[in-house]
Structure 1
Amino acid sequence: MSRSDDLLEIQQVLARYAVTITQGDIEGLIAVFTPDGTYSAFGDTYTLDVFPDLVAAAPKGLFLTGLPVLEIDGDTATGTQPLCFVEHSSHDMRIGYYTDTLERTPDGWRIKTRRMTFIRRNGDHDSGIPHAFERSQG
């Protein structure tokens, strides 16, 4: 595969993340991750088994992402992608960026880790405020 092919495939995986989460397609959302993939925000890291509950507890709306800046090294990549989230009922916005690691798998490029950083009105960049989402104890 050429570098251009890798860039395009990774961009499509990241676009699929934004579209599937916007549409509430949890199965499609999980499919953009490696089986051991994780998502980090709000002071914690979530594995894919709890990711559906995290998404269900989160506000709904439009996930608008920009083109990522990517560094590809063989079968791994790192990247940063800007995000503007617009909540559906109030149109309140949250802005920030994702920091990702990706892997080439037999099924193509997938997200291994995705970390959210919020940009606050005061200019601070942080991982978010821990909130009421609790992992089920089982």
Structure 2
Amino acid sequence: MTDLDVDDRFAIQQTTGRYAHAYDTGDVEGFVGVFTEDGIFEVVLVDQHDQLALFRGAAELRDFAESGMPRVNPVLHHVCGFVFDETDADAPRTRATVVVTKQYPDGPTVVTHGTYFDRWRKTEAGWRIAHRRYVALGYRTSPETQ
């Protein structure tokens, strides 16, 4: 087992930032590009066993981004508390806390918050998310629907 070096750790953390910026700016290809070609994005609600959403592979991730970004933007992903749970260079795992805010006419509102649990793979293009499991503590419905 070989541990990640500092450059690899930095590259992984940068990719987490690129994920947030791509989604927040509506950059579909940038969003898809932070995942491996067979990458998985899974969403679950804390204390629930059923998935709220599951997207497998670049085509499904692209469909998710193309349909979701225009509907929810403008949003901001505030990602912090980034830590490595496993530093093996062949199978690194990280987690990070995320708070997502959306701008409404009466001001910004937290729409979801939770934790990303990520598994990483090094590709020719660099470190990419092989599997992201977002465990949401909850979601807020839009003020317009209340």
- Which TM-score bucket, shorter chain as reference? 0.7 to 0.9
Query: 1:39-69 CA distances to partner (integer Å, 9 max, x unpaired)?
Result: 0015132123122332323522001111421
Q: How does 1:65-104 map to 2 (within 5 A)?
A: 65-70=79-84, 71-89=86-104, 90-93=107-110, 94-104=112-122
CA positional deviation for 1:119: 1.7
CA distance in 1, matches of 2:4, 2:100: 32
Aligned equivalent of 1:63, options 77, 91, 114: 77
CA distance in 2, matches of 1:27, 1:59: 17
CA distance in 2, matches of 1:65, 1:99: 12
Question: Does the 8 A contact of 1:11 with 1:67 survive in 2?
Answer: no
Q: Which residue is equivalent to 2:30?
A: 28
More helix by share: 2
Change beyond 3 A, Cα 1:23–1:4:
same
* SS of the residue 2:72 aligns to: coil
Give the paired residue count. 121
Q: Report the TM-score, using the length of structure 1 for normalisation.
A: 0.79
Deviant stretches of 4+, over 4 Å: none
CA distance in 2, matches of 1:78, 1:31: 19
The code of the aligned residue for 1:69 comes to: V
* SS of the residue 1:74 aligns to: coil
Q: Which residue is equivalent to 1:51?
A: 61
CA positional deviation for 1:2: 6.0
Change beyond 3 A, Cα 1:8–1:67:
farther
CA distance in 2, matches of 1:69, 1:14: 11
For structure 2, list consecutive stretches of 5 or more residues without a partner in the other structure.
45-50, 140-146
Q: Report the TM-score, using the length of structure 2 for normalisation.
A: 0.75
The code of the aligned residue for 2:55 comes to: Y
The code of the aligned residue for 2:93 comes to: T
Task: Tell me how large the CA RMSD over aligned residues is.
Answer: 1.9
More strand by share: 2
CA distance in 2, matches of 1:103, 1:72: 12
For structure 1, list consecutive stretches of 5 or more residues without a partner in the other structure.
121-127, 129-138
CA distance in 1, matches of 2:62, 2:108: 23
